[in-house]
Structure 1
Amino acid sequence: MQLSLPFTRSQQLGFDEFVEAPGTDAVRFLADPGEAHALVVGAPGTGKTHLLTAACQQAYQQEQQAAYIPLADTDTLTPAILQGLASFDLVCVDDLDRVAGQPEWETALFNCYNECDAGAARLVVAGTGAAQEIGFQLPDLVSRLRAALVLRTSPLDDEEAVVALRRRAAFASFELPDAVARFLLRRIPRDMPTLVRALDALAEHTFAEQRKVTVPSARAWLEQQQID
Structure 2
Amino acid sequence: MHRQLGLDLPSRTALERDAFFVAPSNAMALAMIDGWQQWAGGKLVLTGPAGSGKTHLAHVWAEMSGAAIVQASSLPEADIPALAQTNIAVEDIPAIAENPEAQTALFHLHNLVLAEGHALLLTGTPPVQHWGLTLPDLVSRLRGATAVALEAPDDALLSALLVKLLADRQLTPKPDLIPYLLTRMDRSFAAAIDLIARLDAASIALKRPITRHLAMQVLDKDHPAA
Counterpart of 1:216 in structure 2 is 213
- Determine which of 23, 26, 31 is the counterpart of 2:29: 26
Q: 1:183 to 1:132 in 2, by over 3 A?
A: same
- Report deviation, 1:45: 3.6
- Determine which of 21, 38, 44 is the counterpart of 2:50: 44
Counterpart of 2:173 in structure 1 is 176
Contact 2:161–2:192 (Cα < 8 Å) also in 1? no
User: CA RMSD of the aligned region, Å?
Assistant: 3.4
Contact 2:70–2:90 (Cα < 8 Å) also in 1? yes
Cα separation, 2, equivalents of 1:176 and 1:129? 32
2:7 maps to 1:9: no
Cα separation, 1, equivalents of 2:58 and 2:70? 10
The structure with more radius of gyration: 2
Cα separation, 2, equivalents of 1:184 and 1:142? 41
Counterpart of 1:163 in structure 2 is 160
1:1-228 alignment runs, 5 A limit: 9-10=12-13, 12-22=14-24, 24=26, 25-36=28-39, 37-56=43-62, 58-59=63-64, 64=66, 66-71=67-72, 74=73, 77=74, 79-81=76-78, 83=80, 84-88=82-86, 90-170=87-167, 173-200=170-197, 202=199, 213-219=210-216, 222=218
TM-score (norm 2): 0.72
Contact 1:93–1:124 (Cα < 8 Å) also in 2? yes
Contact 2:84–2:112 (Cα < 8 Å) also in 1? yes
The one-letter amino acid paired with 2:180 is: F
- Report deviation, 1:48: 2.0
Q: 1:13 to 1:197 in 2, by over 3 A?
A: farther
Cα separation, 1, equivalents of 2:17 and 2:160? 14
Cα separation, 1, equivalents of 2:98 and 2:197? 35
- Report deviation, 1:79: 1.4
Structure 2 unaligned residues grouped into runs of 5+: 1-10
Q: What SS does the aligned partner of 1:132 have?
A: helix
Contact 2:199–2:214 (Cα < 8 Å) also in 1? no
Residue deviations 1:69-126 (CA, integer Å, cap 9, x gap): 234xx4xx451326121222x3111111111253222211111111110224321111
Structure 1 unaligned residues grouped into runs of 5+: 1-7
Q: What SS does the aligned partner of 2:69 have?
A: strand
Q: 1:203 to 1:43 in 2, by over 3 A?
A: closer
Cα separation, 2, equivalents of 1:208 and 1:43? 30
**How many aligned residue pairs are there?**
207
Cα separation, 1, equivalents of 2:200 and 2:108? 43
- Report deviation, 1:128: 3.0
Q: 1:129 to 1:204 in 2, by over 3 A?
A: closer
Q: Which runs of 4+ in 1 moved over 6 A?
A: 204-212, 223-226
Contact 2:44–2:145 (Cα < 8 Å) also in 1? yes
Q: 1:128 to 1:158 in 2, by over 3 A?
A: same
TM-score (norm 1): 0.71
Contact 1:21–1:154 (Cα < 8 Å) also in 2? no
Cα separation, 1, equivalents of 2:178 and 2:120? 35
Cα separation, 1, equivalents of 2:99 and 2:193? 32
